[in-house]
Structure 1
Amino acid sequence: MIPNMKFYVISIVSIFLALAIGIYIGFTLDAQNFLVEQKEDIASKLEEKFDYLRGENINLKKDIEDLKMQNSQYEKFNETLYPEVIKNRLSGMKVAIIETNDEYIYSGVGKVLEMSGADVVNITTIKDKFLNQDILNEIYLKNGVKKEELEDNIVGKATIDLSTAIASDEENEIIKYFKEYGLINIIGNIDESVDYIIIAGGSDSKDVDRINILDKNIIDTVKKLDLPIIGIEKTKVKNSYMEEYKDSRISTVDNIDSIMGKVALVMSMEGRPGNYGIKPSAESLLPDPSDAISE
C-alpha cells in the first residue's frame, strides 16, 4: 500500500506541475504575442504621427515662404512709397544732428532729411575723449580761463558750450580747440543758425553718468534756447536711451533705421510730437496723419 500511495502522490504532483508549466508557457506565449501586437500597434501609430508631422512641416515651410514673399513685397512697396510720403514735408528747415557717441552710425538720417526738403547744416559726433577732465582743463586754460574759474563739473560746462555753439550761429574759440584735440568731429558749418536739433543716442554699455552729463545737458541747453529737439536711435542697440529722453520730455523715434522710423521722424518734426517706434518707451508706431500740425 505504501509504495502505491507514494506513486499516487508523485503522479498527482507531476500532473499539477505539468499543468503549471503548461499554464506558464501558455501565458508567456500569450504575453509575447501581446507584446508583439503592442509593438506593431505603437510602431503603426508612430508612423502615422510621423507622416502627419511631416505633412505639417511641409505646410509650415510653405506658409513661411509665402510670408517671406509677402514681407518682401511690403518692403518693396514701402521703399517705393515712402519718399513720396515725406517729400517736401520739412522744406527749408535747417537741422543739426548731434551724435553723443561714435558707437552707432547715423549717416542715413541726413539723406532722409534731405529727401524731406530739410537742410542738414552740420553733424557733430562727440568722442569718448570729451569726458576727459584733464584735457578739458588744458583746453579752457589755453582759451584764457583762469584756473580758479574752472568748474568742478567741467564736462558739463563743455557740453553746454558745445550745445550752445551748435544751436546758435557762432563758432567760438573753444569749439575750435575741441576739434583740434579730437574731442569732437564736425561735418558741415557750425557757424550757421538751425531750426531743429536731432540728438542720436544709444550705446554699447550702460552709463547713466554719461547720459546725465552729455545727453541731458544737451537737451536742457537746447530747450533753454527755445529750439525743438528730438531723440533718435536704431532698432537694435545694446543700451537704449529712449526712456531717459522721454523723461526729459522730448519727442523720440526708437527705430530710425527702418522706413517706419524715418517716416515717424519727418512727421514728428513737421509738428506731430510724440514718442514713436517699437520699444517699451514708444506710445505709438507712427504719428497720426489726422492730427493737426502744432506750431
Structure 2
Amino acid sequence: MIVDYKYHIASLVAVFLALGIGILIGSTLLGNTTLVESQKQVTNNLESQLEALRKTNEDVTARSNALQLDANINKQYEDQTLPLLVDGRLADKTFAVIELNGSGFPPEITEVIEDAGGTVSSVTSINDFYDEPKALNVLREELELWPDLSDDEYLGKLGTEIAVGVIDGEKDSIVNSLVDKKILQFTGEFGIPVDGVIIIGGGYKPEARNMQIDLALIDYFKELNIQVVGVEETDVSFSLMKEYQRKHISTIDDIDSAPGRLAMVLVLGGQPGNYGIKPTAQKLLPDMQKQEVK
C-alpha cells in the first residue's frame, strides 16, 4: 500500500501558520523574549519534521514506481512463458466450463487450455437468482415441477438437469426455460464428450451463496467418472474451496494468476490436488513433470 503524506504536510503547514501568528502576537503584546524563542524552537523542529516527511514521500514514490515496473516485467514474463510451460499438456482433450460465481467468465481459462492443446466445448454461466427467495419462488411457480421439494432439494434437481444437458446435449424444457429467463447462458456446444469439467466458484457478495447447484453438478459428473476441478479467483469475498474439497475434487484458489492457470493445466493433465495461496491449498503448484516426447 502506498503511503501518502500530503495530509501530514498540510497539517504541519497549518501549524506553522498558527505559530507564526502566535509569535507575532506574543512579541507585540507581551514582549516576552523567552516565549518567542520557545516558539521559534518549536517552529524549527516542525520544519525538520516537514523536511523528513518530504524526503520519505519521495522515497515511497520512487519505491512505488520501481514496484510497478517490476510488476509489469513479471506480467510480461508470465504471458510469454506460460504458453511454453503448458504446451501440449492437454493435447486432444476436451473440457466444459461452468461458471457459478455470478461475476463473469475469466477468458484466460479457455486461453490457457487452448495454449495447452486442449479444447473447450462449452462455457455455461448460471446466475445467482437462487439467492433471492422471491425469484426462486417465481421460478418454481412457472416451471410447476417438484412441488414437494425443499428449496435446497429443488436447486439440486436443477443442477442435475443442467449437468445432463451439458453432457447429453439434450436441452429439455427445463434447460430451455432457464435459458429463456436468462438464468442460464452458454456458448459452444453441449453433448460433446468431455475429459473434464471446470467449475468456477467463489463469489463477491458479502455472504456465501447457496451451493446446492454446485454440489449436484459435482455429484453428477463424478458418477460418470468425469474429472471435476473447482477453481476460484484470489480475491473472492467468500471461498468455496473447503466445500469442494469435501467432495474429493481438485481445487485451485488463484485461477486469476499465472501460477493458478498453470496448476489447473497440470491438474487436468493428471496431477490432482489442492493448489493455490489460501489456507485450504496444499501448495502453490503440482510438481513439474517432464513431458513425454512424442
1:90-149 Cα deviation digits (max 9, x unpaired): 1111101111254333333212211111111111122445783664576576xxxxx79x
Q: How far off its partner does 1:41 sit?
A: 3.1
Q: Which residue of 1 aligns with 2:221?
A: 222
Q: Which residue of 2 aligns with 1:284?
A: 283
Q: Which residue of 2 aligns with 1:237?
A: 236
TM-score, reference length from structure 2? 0.73
Q: How far off its partner does 1:89 sit?
A: 1.3
Q: Which residue of 2 aligns with 1:59?
A: 59
Q: How far off its partner does 1:82 sit?
A: 1.3
Structure 1 49/203 Cα, relative in aligned 2: closer, same or farther at 3 Å? closer
Q: Which runs of 5+ in 2 are unaligned?
A: 1-30
Q: Determine the C-alpha separation between the residues in 1 that align with 2:67 and 2:208.
A: 41
For the 8 Å contact 1:97–1:200, the answer to whether it is kept is yes
Structure 1 55/91 Cα, relative in aligned 2: closer, same or farther at 3 Å? same
Structure 1 204/67 Cα, relative in aligned 2: closer, same or farther at 3 Å? closer
TM-score, reference length from structure 1? 0.73
Q: Determine the C-alpha separation between the residues in 2 that align with 1:242 and 1:276.
A: 10
For the 8 Å contact 1:277–1:285, the answer to whether it is kept is yes
Q: How far off its partner does 1:158 sit?
A: 2.5
Q: Which residue of 2 aligns with 1:198?
A: 198
For the 8 Å contact 2:156–2:215, the answer to whether it is kept is no
Q: How far off its partner does 1:66 sit?
A: 1.8
Q: Does 1:251 align with 2:255?
A: no
Q: Determine the C-alpha separation between the residues in 2 that align with 1:49 and 1:218.
A: 62
Q: Determine the C-alpha separation between the residues in 2 that align with 1:242 and 1:170.
A: 29
- Is the partner of 1:216 in helix, strand or coil? helix
Q: Determine the C-alpha separation between the residues in 2 that align with 1:54 and 1:119.
A: 55
- Is the partner of 1:210 in helix, strand or coil? coil
Q: What do you get for the CA RMSD once the two structures are aligned?
A: 3.2
Identity %: 29
Q: Determine the C-alpha separation between the residues in 2 that align with 1:177 and 1:68.
A: 48
Q: Determine the C-alpha separation between the residues in 1 that align with 2:45 and 2:75.
A: 44
Q: Which residue of 2 aligns with 1:6?
A: none
Q: Which residue of 2 aligns with 1:132?
A: 136
For the 8 Å contact 1:133–1:154, the answer to whether it is kept is no
Q: How far off its partner does 1:275 sit?
A: 2.4
Structure 1 256/36 Cα, relative in aligned 2: closer, same or farther at 3 Å? same
Q: Which amino acid aligns with 1:160?
A: T
For the 8 Å contact 1:129–1:182, the answer to whether it is kept is no
1:40-82 Cα deviation digits (max 9, x unpaired): 3333333233323322322232222222212221221111211
Structure 1 90/53 Cα, relative in aligned 2: closer, same or farther at 3 Å? same
Q: Which residue of 1 aligns with 2:12?
A: none
Q: Determine the C-alpha separation between the residues in 1 that align with 2:217 and 2:281.
A: 22
Q: Determine the C-alpha separation between the residues in 1 that align with 2:55 and 2:207.
A: 51
1:1-295 alignment, distance < 5 Å: 32-100=32-100, 102-128=102-128, 132=136, 135=139, 139=143, 153-166=153-166, 168-171=167-170, 173-174=172-173, 175-180=175-180, 182-205=182-205, 210-211=210-211, 213-289=212-288
Moved more, 267-276 or 78-87: 267-276
Q: Which amino acid aligns with 2:74?
A: Y
Q: Determine the C-alpha separation between the residues in 1 that align with 2:57 and 2:206.
A: 42
Structure 1 140/186 Cα, relative in aligned 2: closer, same or farther at 3 Å? farther
For the 8 Å contact 1:156–1:214, the answer to whether it is kept is yes
Q: Determine the C-alpha separation between the residues in 2 that align with 1:126 and 1:195.
A: 21
Answer with 1 or 2: which has the greater Rg: 1
Q: How far off its partner does 1:280 sit?
A: 3.5
